Amino acid sequence: MMKLYSGDLSPYSARVRMQIYAKGLSEIAIERPAHFGTPKFRQDFPIGRIPVLDVDGDMMPESEVIAEYLEEIFPTPSMLGTIPRETAHIRTIARVGDIYILNNMFMLSAQSRAETRNQGIIDLLGGQVVRNIKALDRMIGRDGFACCGRLTMADCALVPALFMVENVLPATGLEDPIKKAGNVAAYWTAIQKTEHAARTLVELHRGLEERRELIRNGTFAKMMAKAAADMAEAEKD
Ligand SMILES: N[C@@H](CCC(=O)N[C@@H](CS)C(=O)NCC(=O)O)C(=O)O
């Protein structure tokens, strides 16, 4: 049986979960990994990040790689194009979601905790997010889907990325750029009402609420300090 190691608030994991839901792959179990964030996890998985797809003990990291693998193993229903040019366009939009928006948002997310803010980091990464939402505004479909008039891998990449922009960017002091990008805003309103995006967003919001509670009650800072100390100890020699 295949397993996806995942976490509610992990946007990269959410990308793969949304694809699994859309393809109806009930045979893939979705679990939170034991030891996540510990030296043991990094020992077992060199990149040390989720998602990881466990295929009978063969561990595969990286959301985009997993997404492409699942398309090859389970080709129907297809979330790629009907012709190569369509597939190339779907992958382009997915890369805008992953590389140009989500990677910057993910690096920026630690800046949402006011006491550790670094304005230079916010200006650099936040500036990239704003620029890339404007680029997306010129590329995105006008019919409620990222492209091709149906749910594709591009939507799976964009939904978690736009969730992060809407819910995390304002906490760094920057305005949500989706509001000023009419086509992205219309897409965002529409896609949230679709079944698989809605399910994925419930999980992301649940994860965000849990994280906010851990931050409020001081547990998150303690967890981060312990993880950093354990990691430094493990990497001593
Ligand atoms: N490029 C990776 C990024 C994965 C990633 O950064 N995952 C985060 C959770 S959303 C993580 O595991 N972070 C742990 C860490 O940074 O140590 C992918 O697409 O899967």
- The 10s digit of each residue's pLDDT in 45-68 is 899 999 999 999 999 999 999 999
Query: In the chain, what percentage of residues exceed pLDDT 90?
Result: 85
In 3D space, the residue among 161, 155, 159, 153 whose CA is nearest the CA of residue 74 turns out to be 153
Closest residue CA from atom 20 of ligand 1: 62
The pLDDT confidence band at residue 104, using thresholds 50, 70 and 90, is: very high
Residue with tokens 């020699």: 237
Quick: pLDDT tens for 68-98.
Answer: 999 999 999 999 999 999 999 999 999 999 9
Q: What is the mean pLDDT of the chain?
A: 95
Question: Distance from the CA of 12 to the center of ligand 1, in angstroms?
Answer: 7
Q: Measuring from atom 6 of ligand 1, which residue has the nearest CA?
A: 49
From ligand 1's centre to the CA of 177, what distance in Å? 24
**Token pair listed for 40:** 């043991």
Long-range contacts of 74-80 (CB under 8 A, 24+ apart): 74/23, 74/25, 76/23, 77/22, 77/23, 77/24, 79/19, 79/22, 79/23, 79/151, 79/152, 79/153, 79/156, 80/152, 80/153
Any atom of ligand 1 within 6 Å of the Cβ of 50? yes
CATH number listed for the domain at residues 2-73: 3.40.30.10
Distance 161 CA to ligand 1 centre (A): 13
85, two tokens: 């040019």
For the Cβ of 39 lying below 6 angstroms from any atom of ligand 1, the answer is: no
Rg (CA), the chain: 18
Is residue 62 within 6 Å of ligand 1 at its C-beta? yes
Residue nearest to atom 14 of ligand 1 (CA): 49
9, 12, 69: residue to mutate for ligand 1 pocket, most atoms within 8 A of CB: 12
Can you tell me whether residue 230 is helix, strand or coil?
helix
Taking the centre of ligand 1 as the mean of its atom positions, its distance from the CA of residue 40, in whole angstroms, is 16
Query: According to the model, what pLDDT value does residue 26 have?
Result: 96
DSSP 115: G
22 has a pLDDT exceeding 70? yes
Give residue limits of the domains in the chain: 2-73, 84-216
The predicted pLDDT at position 237 comes to 64
> How far, in Å, CA of 165 to CA of 151, rounded?
21
- Does ligand 1 come within 6 angstroms of the Cβ of 63? yes
CATH domain 84-216 topology: Glutathione S-transferase Yfyf (Class Pi); Chain A, domain 2 (1.20.1050)
**Closest approach atom of ligand 1 to CA 98:** 19
Give dist(CA 191, CA 35) in Å, integer: 34
